[in-house]
Amino acid sequence: MKICITAQGSTLDARAEERFGRAPYFMIIDTETGSAEAIENQFAGATGGVGPKSAQLLIDRKVTALVSGMVGGNAREALKAAGISMFTYRAGGSVKDALEQFTGSKLERSG
Amino acid sequence: MKIAVASGKGGTGKTMVAANLALVVSQSCEVTLVDCDVEEPNLHLFFGGAAATTDVTVPVPVFDLQSCDKCGKCGGFCQYGAITVLPDRILFFPELCHSCGGCTLVCPKGAIHEEPARIGQVTIVHPSPWLTLITGTLDEGKPHATPVIRAAKDMSRDAGIVICDASPGTACPVVETLDGCDACILVTESTPFGLHDLHLAAEVADRLGVPSGVVINRSDGQDKKTLEFCATHELPVLMTIPFDRMTATIQNRGGLISRQSPEWQGRFAELFARCHNLIRGSQ
């Protein structure tokens, strides 16, 4: 499956980012192949609508689960409508750590 | 002639100045007063009369899912994130839409058309033969004040003399109100907070090319810093209203000081004359 982990940098060692819509990077990871792609969030500084824009990015890449710290109202609505599950990671560790927690089913599902 | 009454800091007395000014001017010629503080209009509290109301609407997109092939161009175009394209349908966020109409133009299938959505209303009242009050009101929960302000101002487009009461602050609603005005009265109070926000408001008026003057309200006679600021920034002080409990009492009961006292009538007439000079001086 393809998942997205919000990140502060473009590598697996980068710190995981708690915010969804304004995350600096989206790490798209294929849990089967292990491949990871870092996408810079071009909407991070926009005045509004960042939630739906970020959700659209995930929808276009056929992501089925999101690992993040906080998801706003509009983003939540868009992700829910698209059937993308939401998991909460707030331990402050790296993207790699968040990935391990996710695959180990240690994260709480929030949507 | 269009005069805006703005401030920066809230609660300085914009409505008090706008209402009294309009009342006094309406004794010698026709004047239209426009309440542009559409999130919390209050001029109607001072002027009565039978009201005529019109809806204010903005166009929003409606998607024809039969013709839509989910290409995603509409969502990609939207600068505001108002459209999310799912594999089986379109998700539209009305509060994010800015009614630009762009999505209807980029859709290759012509699957989007616009329909009006109500966001507020404009009310017209004639408290006296030469005074018209136009009040713009934004519906609760709606995020965009500017289309309602524009609609209210539009209703005054044929009027000779227009006074626009702005909302506090220096954001989009104030810019919309000031736009196209010939002069701006900045109402301030002699406090550090008042002065700080007067500075911001004066800068906005300046950027918009609207000549401004200052009214110092609730003055305790210790206006040195405000006067220094006005002198440095070449802002004429058009009027100083002393802090007076009776003035506050009259205002709070929905009365106007110029109705009660010939002295205040004269002073607001003088304020109007000074606005004339301000406009002439800038031409």
Residue B215 makes CB contacts below 8 A (sequence gap 6+) with B13, B17, B185, B186, B187, B188, B237, B238, B239, B240, B241, B271
CA atoms within 13 A on the CB side of A58: 35
pLDDT score recorded for residue B274: 97
Q: Which two tokens stand for residue B115?
A: 């329909």
pLDDT score recorded for residue B283: 79
Helix (H) or strand (E) holding A78: helix A73-82
Chain B CA closest to residue A51 = B81
CB–CB of A66/A3 below 8 Å?
yes
Q: Does A51 touch chain B (CB under 8 A)?
A: yes
Chain A CA closest to residue B86 = A82
The C-alpha atoms of residue A58 and residue A62 are separated, in whole angstroms, by 6
Q: Does B151 touch chain A (CB under 8 A)?
A: no
pLDDT score recorded for residue B240: 97
Q: Does A97 touch chain B (CB under 8 A)?
A: no
DSSP A15: B
Side chain identity at residue B10, one-letter code: G
Bridge-based pairing of strands B183-189 and B83-85 is unpaired
Chain B partners within 8 Å of A55 (Cβ):
84
DSSP secondary structure, A45-74, as one string: T-SS-HHHHHHHHHHHTT--EEEESB--HH
Residue A74 makes CB contacts below 8 A (sequence gap 6+) with A49, A51, A52, B81, B93, B96
For testing contact with chain B, the best of A41, A42, A43, A56 (most B CBs within 10 A):
A56
For testing contact with chain A, the best of B74, B83, B84 (most A CBs within 10 A):
B84
Report the residue count for chain B: 283
Give how far Cα A56 sits from Cα of A20, A47, B67, B76, B107, Å: 12, 17, 21, 9, 17
pLDDT score recorded for residue B50: 85
A73 has a pLDDT exceeding 90: yes
* Cβ-defined contact of A77 to B91 (cutoff 8 Å): yes
CA angle B246, B45, B173 (to 5 degrees): 105
Chain B partners within 8 Å of A49 (Cβ):
78-82, 93, 96
Q: Does A77 touch chain B (CB under 8 A)?
A: yes
CB–CB of B113/B123 below 8 Å?
no
| B84 → closest Cβ in A43, A48, A78 | A78
Least Cα distance to B267 among B282, B256, B251, B278 occurs for B256
Can you tell me the mean pLDDT for A50-78? 97
* Cβ-defined contact of A46 to B87 (cutoff 8 Å): no
pLDDT in tens, chain B (283 residues): 999 999 999 999 999 999 999 999 999 999 999 999 999 999 999 998 888 999 999 999 999 999 999 999 999 999 999 999 999 999 999 999 999 999 999 999 999 999 999 999 999 999 999 999 999 999 999 999 999 999 999 999 999 999 999 999 999 999 999 999 999 999 999 899 999 999 999 999 999 999 999 999 999 999 999 999 999 999 999 999 999 999 999 999 999 999 999 999 999 999 999 999 999 988 7
DSSP B15: H
Residue B251 makes CB contacts below 8 A (sequence gap 6+) with B16, B257
The C-alpha atoms of residue B133 and residue B11 are separated, in whole angstroms, by 21
Q: Does B85 touch chain A (CB under 8 A)?
A: yes
User: For chain B, what is the largest distance between any 2 Cα atoms, rounded to a whole number of angstroms?
Assistant: 71
Least Cα distance to B64 among B103, B119, B117 occurs for B103
pLDDT score recorded for residue B48: 85
> What does CATH list as the number for B58-118?
3.30.70.20
Domain ranges for chain B: 2-56+120-282, 58-118
Q: Which residues pair with B214 in a beta bridge?
A: B186, B237
- Report, at the CATH architecture level, how domain B2-56+120-282 is classified: 3-Layer(aba) Sandwich (3.40)
pLDDT score recorded for residue A97: 97
Measured from the Cβ of residue B189, the count of other Cβ atoms closer than 10 Å reads 24
* Cβ-defined contact of B82 to A49 (cutoff 8 Å): yes
Domain ranges for chain A: 2-109
pLDDT score recorded for residue A90: 96
> What does CATH list as the number for A2-109?
3.30.420.130
A47 has a pLDDT exceeding 90: no
Q: Does B79 touch chain A (CB under 8 A)?
A: yes
CB–CB of B190/B225 below 8 Å?
yes
Chain A partners within 8 Å of B96 (Cβ):
48-49, 52, 74
CA distance B9 to chain A (A): 24
Chain B CA closest to residue A82 = B86
